[in-house]
Amino acid sequence: MTDSLTQRTKLLTLAGVLLALFLGSLDQTIVATALPRIVRDLHGLDRFTWVATAYLVASTALVPIYGKLADMYSRRTIEVTAVLVFLFGSALCGLAGEFGTLPLLGDGMSQLIIFRAIQGLGGAGLFAMAFIIIADLFPPAERGKYQGFVGATFGVSSVLGPFLGGLLTDHGDGLLPGVEGWRLVFYVNIPLGALALWFILSRMPALRPRGEQQPIDYLAALLLMLGLGPLVIALQLNKAVYGWASPITLGLFALALAALTLFVVRSRRAANPILDLTLFDNKVFRTANLALFLLGGAFLSIIIFEPLFMVNVLGTTATQAGVSLIPLSLGVVAGSMLAGQMVSRFGHYKRWMLGGGVVLMMGLSLLATMPDNVTYYQVLFYVVLCGLGLGPSMPLYTLAVQNAIEPRLLGQATSASQFFRQIGGAVAAAGLGAVLSISLAQALPAPTAAPVSLTQVSATEGSSLPPGPARVAGSPTPAIRAAFTHAISRIYLCTLLLVMAGWVATLFIPELPLRKSNAISQPVAVAAE
């Protein structure tokens, strides 16, 4: 029982898990700043978006499977496996193109895309296992303040990532003999990962689930990946090339629908399903995950479209636009930590969910009504409000789900929450990208509309565009400023409507008393050997 573990052991385990999570969250931001150099060196401009898409597809599709494995085997074993796969993928990414074109792997850019998918296979576990292991270590009544560190980890990594990526890319050439600086963006994961592994292997208990274990349903796992992979790819395709009604997009959606339908049928009949569908009978599980799905696009809409506003309306540099996101991260850290501490102290979580939603809606309302003469620092204030509102969403919705389900289903329920958040973000970002394209096409004169059409944004493209496509050449003209102001106002209005719907869904989440013990069906805490 983890109740028998000392507080020191729990905190050292938490440190290792958060360090592993930091690897995954840092990777999502550090690569974006290196991408222009990667594209130049590997000659892959036509495929640059797939560097992020490959990671996203793999990491999204594997999240539910990690949750199931965590309910079957030692949590420590699954966490170590995820870290090792992630580090293996990182090392391969750093080597992409070093040996020229390779059989089956293609040229350097193709190699990088394949290796990023391998990274994503490990990254999925880093995210899913963090919440699962924290839930094992601390009962719901105490868990909020520790899950608040998860939000803080995301916030810190989103600040450090772009700066560290730019620093290594621009000044890292020669730090390792014969190694380009952009490769260090991937190699830097290895020493950090080694430290995380030391904490996990030496300090973390095994956390083995109780009860008889049955073999995993491999057919269901295959159907799930066949459904989620095409779904995410369809959402991420550049809609300027492959429209929503194009044969490729429709074919991917059809494949996803067929595979996911078969997955549901299989899961209803399986003795040991990947995702126990009886979870959806739980009202907390249903409503909290609906809210997470609707809220999933809020964070992405800010980090993707706020820099576009800064560059194309206020005329800032790309660096200034990137710096303008730091207040968002600081707000997320503060909101996450504050909400977690308050829930652990007073035992009520729903009021903090609703309060955070109100603050987020205030921030989005201000972003949606920005005139083209708004000041840089006014935008920073609006972004801080959004961060403060978003902060409680990451730990508290997951806490509500974990508190409401049987502990034996902890892994499945927790990973499902992460999955719904990710899919919601992908769907929202794809839809908001379409809003941007349509709005700009309507507002800009024909000579200007062509280059701007390259700003088609998706969850991956928006965070990894090389300098240039997201900005019209030269200082923004009055027409361009007006067009982007109108387009981004529409985007934040749509985001506000999604958040309002998520807030309404939150109203229907039953607030259950937080359990003070993990004793029921808790994993056995076998000390680290």
pLDDT, tens digit, for every residue of 410-419? 889 999 998 8
**Interval 243-289: pLDDT, tens:** 888 899 999 999 999 999 999 999 888 888 888 899 999 999 999 99
Q: Is residue 527, in this structure, part of any structural domain at all? A: no
Rounded Cα–Cα distance for residues 154 and 21 (Å): 8
What confidence category does residue 234 fall into, taking pLDDT thresholds of 50, 70 and 90?
A: confident
Which residue has better confidence, 341 or 441?
Answer: 341
Q: How far is CA 108 from CA 92, 167, 267, in A?
A: 11, 23, 40
What pairs with residue 524 in β-bridges?
208
Q: Are residues 409 and 289 both part of a single domain?
A: yes
Q: Are residues 174 and 239 both part of a single domain?
A: no
Q: Give me the pLDDT at residue 449, please.
A: 44
Q: Are residues 156 and 251 both part of a single domain?
A: no
Q: Are residues 254 and 283 both part of a single domain?
A: no
Q: Is residue 293, in this structure, part of any structural domain at all? A: yes
Q: Are residues 250 and 191 both part of a single domain?
A: no
What confidence category does residue 170 fall into, taking pLDDT thresholds of 50, 70 and 90?
A: confident
Instruction: Residue 295: count other Cβ atoms within 10 Å of its Cβ.
Output: 31
Q: Is residue 520, in this structure, part of any structural domain at all? A: no
Q: How far apart are the first and last CA of the chain?
A: 16
Nearest to residue 207, comparing CAs of 148, 140, 135? 135
pLDDT above 90 (res 358): yes
Rounded Cα–Cα distance for residues 323 and 166 (Å): 12
Nearest to residue 261, comparing CAs of 316, 224, 309? 224
Q: Look at the block and give the residue holding tokens 């800010």.
A: 302
Q: Give me the pLDDT at residue 439, please.
A: 85
Q: Are residues 338 and 427 both part of a single domain?
A: yes
Rounded Cα–Cα distance for residues 85 and 119 (Å): 7
Q: Is residue 94, in this structure, part of any structural domain at all? A: yes
Rounded Cα–Cα distance for residues 327 and 302 (Å): 11
Q: Are residues 453 and 411 both part of a single domain?
A: yes
Q: Are residues 427 and 405 both part of a single domain?
A: yes
Q: Are residues 65 and 21 both part of a single domain?
A: yes
Which residue has better confidence, 503 or 139?
Answer: 503
**For residues 504-529, average pLDDT:** 72
pLDDT above 60 (res 396): yes
21, 83 contact by CB (below 8 A): no
Instruction: Residue 196: count other Cβ atoms within 10 Å of its Cβ.
Output: 26
Q: Give me the pLDDT at residue 117, please.
A: 92
Rounded Cα–Cα distance for residues 307 and 289 (Å): 29
Q: Are residues 255 and 194 both part of a single domain?
A: no
The encoded tokens of residue 103 equal 């059989």
Q: Give me the pLDDT at residue 286, please.
A: 95
**Interval 449-499: pLDDT, tens:** 433 333 333 333 333 333 333 444 457 788 888 889 999 999 999 999 999
Residues 6+ apart with CB under 8 A from 203: 9, 12, 13, 15, 16, 528
Q: Which DSSP letter does residue 103 get?
A: T
pLDDT above 70 (res 306): yes
Range of the domain at 264: 220-273
Q: Are residues 239 and 280 both part of a single domain?
A: no
pLDDT above 80 (res 503): yes
Domain with residue 312: its CATH number is: 1.20.1250.20
What confidence category does residue 175 fall into, taking pLDDT thresholds of 50, 70 and 90?
A: confident
Q: Is residue 280, in this structure, part of any structural domain at all? A: yes
Residues 6+ apart with CB under 8 A from 354: 503, 506, 507
Q: Is residue 370, in this structure, part of any structural domain at all? A: yes
Q: How many domains is the chain partitioned into structurally?
A: 2
Across the chain, mean pLDDT equals 84
What are the backbone angles phi and psi of residue 458, rounded to the nearest 5°? -135, 180
Q: Is residue 201, in this structure, part of any structural domain at all? A: yes
DSSP string, 472-500: -SSSPPHHHHHHHHHHHHHHHHHHHHHHH
Q: Give me the pLDDT at residue 210, please.
A: 62
**Interval 138-157: pLDDT, tens:** 888 888 888 888 888 887 88
What confidence category does residue 518 fall into, taking pLDDT thresholds of 50, 70 and 90?
A: low
Percent pLDDT > 70 in the chain is 90
Q: Is residue 512, in this structure, part of any structural domain at all? A: no
Q: Give me the pLDDT at residue 473, please.
A: 42
Q: Give me the pLDDT at residue 387, please.
A: 92
Domain boundary among 273, 308, 338: 273
pLDDT above 80 (res 106): yes
Q: Are residues 233 and 324 both part of a single domain?
A: no
What confidence category does residue 233 fall into, taking pLDDT thresholds of 50, 70 and 90?
A: confident
